[in-house]
Amino acid sequence: MSGARGRRAVAEALALLGLGLVVALGGHFFLSNYWLTVGVVIAMYSLPSLALLLLLGYAGRPSFGHAAFFAVGAYASAVTTTRLGWDPVAGALAGIVVAGAVAYVIGFPLLRLSGHYLAIATLAFAIIVRVVLENATPLTGGLNGIVGIPSLGTPRTAFVLVVMLVTIIYAAAVFIDHSRIGRILRALGDDERAMASCGINPQSIRTAVFVASAVLTSIAGSVYAHFLTYISPEPFNVDMSVLFVTMMLVGGTGSVWGALIGACIVGAIPAVLSTYAAYSALLYGIAIVAVLLLAPYGVLGLPTQLRIARARLRRIVASGSKPAQAGEVANVD
C-alpha cells in the first residue's frame, strides 16, 4: 500500500470508527427501545450487504443464497449455546467455521458458473438449506425452532455491542479495500484473463471471496439469534436473500460505504412507514423501486450521474439545440 493510499485508508477507517462510536453512544443515551431495535436490525443486515458487495460488486458473482449462510450462523450459534452450553462468542465462532466450510465445499462447483446460472444455483442452495432446517427436527427443532438462546442483554446494550462490532468490521473492510487485496478483488471483476496472466488463480480468489462473504453473513446470523433469543426456519427464505441484494444495490457496488448506506436506507424505510401500517408493504415497494430507478448505480453513484447530466445540459445549451420531444420524427428528404 503506497503512502498516499495508506494514509487515505487509515483516515477513512478512523472516520468510520469515530462515526460508529458516536452512533453507539448517541443511540444508547437518546433513542427509544423501538429505534434501538431498528438500529440493531440495520447494523446486523449491513454485514450481508457488505458480503454481497465483495461477491457481486468486486468479484462479479451474484448470489441469491446468502439467507442460507445467515441461517447457518444463527442455527450454529443457537445449537451450541442451548444444547452444549457454549457462550455466545464461541457459538458465533462455530457459525463462522460451519458457514466457511460449507461455502468452501460448494464454492468450487458453483463458482464455475456465472450470471443468472450462478444466481439460480445459489437460490437452490438456499432452498435446500431451509428444507434441511425444517426437517432435521432433533437438531434444529424443525418448524418449532429453538428457544432460550442466550440474550445480548437489554436493547441499549445490544445496540452498542452490535454497532461497534459492525463498525470494526467495516473499518477493516475499508482498509482492505485500499490495499493490494482490494486491487486484486477489483481486477477479478474487471479482467480475469489479465489476472491469470500475472500468475494469480482467479478460481482460488473467487472461492476465497465466497468463503469470506459467507463468514460475514454468518456473523450477522449469530447476532440475529442472540438478539431475538428464538429462531425458526420461516424467516430464512428467498425474501431475505433478495433483501440483502437490494441493500447492496441501493447503496452502490463501487464502495464499502455503499453497502452500509444501502442497509441504512432499506432498513429504515419500513420503520419510517410503520405509521401507515395498512399500506406499508405497498409504500415500501414503491420506495425501493423509485430509488433503483432514480439511482441505477446506487446512492453513491448519484454525484456521478448529476455531473454527467450537467455536462450534457451544458453541451445542449452551447449548441443551441433542444432535446427531441417524445414522438417527434425527423423529416427525411
Boundaries of every domain in the chain: 3-237
Q: What is the pTM of this model?
A: 0.87
In single-letter form, the type of residue at position 280 comes to S
User: How confident is the model over 132-151, as pLDDT tens digits?
Assistant: 999 999 999 999 999 999 99
pLDDT at 199: 72
Q: Which three cell numbers stand for residue 296?
A: 441505477
At 194, is the pLDDT very low, low, confident or very high (cuts 50, 70, 90)?
Answer: low
Least confident of 186-195, 243-252, 268-277: 186-195
pLDDT at 170: 95
Highest mean pLDDT: which range of 59-68, 227-236, 271-280: 227-236
Percent of the chain with pLDDT over 90: 56
User: How confident is the model over 28-41, as pLDDT tens digits?
Assistant: 999 999 999 999 99
